[in-house]
Chain A
Amino acid sequence: MPWDRNQMAARAAQELEDGMYVNLGIGIPTLVANYVGDKDITLQSENGMLGMGPFPFEGEEDPDLINAGKQTITELSRTSYFDSATSFAMIRGGKIAAAVLGAMEVDEEGDLANWMIPGVLVKGMGGAMDLVAGVGRVIVVMDHTNKHGKSKLLRKCTLPLTGKQVVDRIITNLGVLDVVGGGLKIVEIAEGVTEDEIRAATEAKIVN
């Protein structure tokens, strides 16, 4: 059985180490916070916060306290606030250890496309380009194939890029792959999935 959304998030949480400052993207990456366990992880929200807490209880929402997805959230005892220039200084400056984010396409060079489909309404890249260019490690969490069954792990990205040679590790519903010299390397296979299935679902070159 391929991993479901929660299992992918749980697998991504294994990538995070005690003491890390981490930025989680929207979608499955947000779920990663549910699986960090006892690890001391500080979540950054790029609109200007370190130490992001869970959603507020009903009636306790604060319009001055939102995350980068514009959702109401809460603060923790460790929280600090700062302005957007400072926030992206810590991102660009490499102080954020890792970003976990979704993607439309990743290729064997580690190029990432996740902000724009030509001909489809363009909303903007937000902070994605800054994050992938700046953080220590970029972990992509996404389904292995798109809704048409086509591989999202490509020889070469076809969509406009968010960053070039920026992805370190890809966690999909089928397994875990690293971007290494010359292609992608399978480092883990979801229980019940075969290596042949991963290879068949991967357009990018797989190296040993």
Chain B
Amino acid sequence: MKKVYANATEALDGVLSDGMMIAAGGFGLCGIPELLLEAIKESGAQDLTFASNNAGVDDFGIGILLQTKQVKKMISSYVGENAEFMRQYLAGELELEFNPQGTLAERMRAGGAGIPGFYTKTGVGTVIAEGKEHKDFNGETYIMEEGIFADLAIVKAWKADDTGNLIFRKTARNFNVPAATCGKVCIAEVEEIVPRGSLDPDQIHLPGIYVNRIIQGDHEKRIEQRTTRKKEEA
């Protein structure tokens, strides 16, 4: 089955629809599926729910879909870098569900692994625990969190082969792996599609079984906070 598509718009054709839930990889602006987000913007799809650790910045990442009011709800752990997000949230135009970062990652992992719920200590005694089932194990209290089963997953990887085996680079792996696994359909955008057989099977980060469609393209890979030291400090 052919997995490689010409571009993000073609890869989204037939799988993107209004009101769907999309799990997106990335941490801050690192490892975000920037080409697919741009194509979703162009598609005009409405009322989208995003499970994504962050919401991008005003003009990059999921932020571009906030500008066009295509997002109905965000499930995120931290959204502090996005002024338009804050404006829409405070105006009641956008739903927001805060998840602790590890809980969000595990909800995606669990959904991808066919696990509808799990217990965690994270958030016990906080607003996160309100309305959730509490259960004691070995004298400690845990709350139940639910797996995320997304309609679509969009992720960014470094390299792929045409069967969808993916390799990520450095900390750009982040949420891309759990997000990819929890979508009914997963589209991966990569910097390079390499010939089958050229990736070391022992070094695959995400096996191609999780990836339905692949595109290759040029990535801006914007840096959110450029921090450096001077040579003389070494």
Q: Which residues of A contact B (CB under 8 A)?
A: 45-49, 54-67, 69-73, 75, 81-89, 91-92, 111, 121-130, 133-134, 160-165
Main SS at interface, chain A = loop
Q: A88-B101, A88-B106, A161-B125 are in contact. Are A64 and B170 (CB under 8 A)?
A: yes
Which of chain B's residues has its CB closest to A91's CB? B102
Q: Which residues of chain B are near A124, meaning CB under 8 Å?
A: 76-80, 98
Query: Which residues of B in the span 114-139 have a Cβ within 8 Å of any Cβ on A?
Result: 120-128
Contact flags (1/0) for B67-90 with A, using CB distance below 8 Å?
000000000111111000010000
What number of A-B contacts does a CB cutoff of 8 Å give?
A: 183
Q: Complex: how many Å from CA A145 to CA B125?
A: 25
Which of B4-12, B14-22, B39-47, B174-182 has 4 or more CB atoms under 8 Å from chain A? B174-182
Q: Which residues of chain A are near B169, meaning CB under 8 Å?
A: 64
Q: Which of B122, B171, B176 contacts A133 (CB 8 A)?
A: B122
Q: Which of A65, A82, A134, A164 contacts B126 (CB 8 A)?
A: A164
Main SS at interface, chain B = loop
Judge if B229 is at the interface, Cβ distance under 8 Å.
yes
> Nearest 8 CB-CB pairs, A to B?
A88-B102, A164-B125, A123-B80, A130-B102, A83-B177, A124-B78, A127-B101, A129-B100
Which of chain A's residues has its CB closest to B175's CB? A84
Q: Complex: how many Å from CA A56 to CA B231?
A: 9
Q: Is the CB of A75 within 8 A of B178?
A: no
Nearest-neighbour CB distance to chain B for A20, whole angstroms, equals 20
Q: A85-B105, A125-B78, A163-B126 are in contact. Are A47 and B170 (CB under 8 A)?
A: no
Q: Find the residue from B106, B126, B176 having the highest chain A CB count within 10 A.
A: B126
Judge if B109 is at the interface, Cβ distance under 8 Å.
yes
Q: Which residues of chain B are near A60, meaning CB under 8 Å?
A: 228
Which of B193-201, B209-217, B219-227 has 4 or more CB atoms under 8 Å from chain A? B219-227
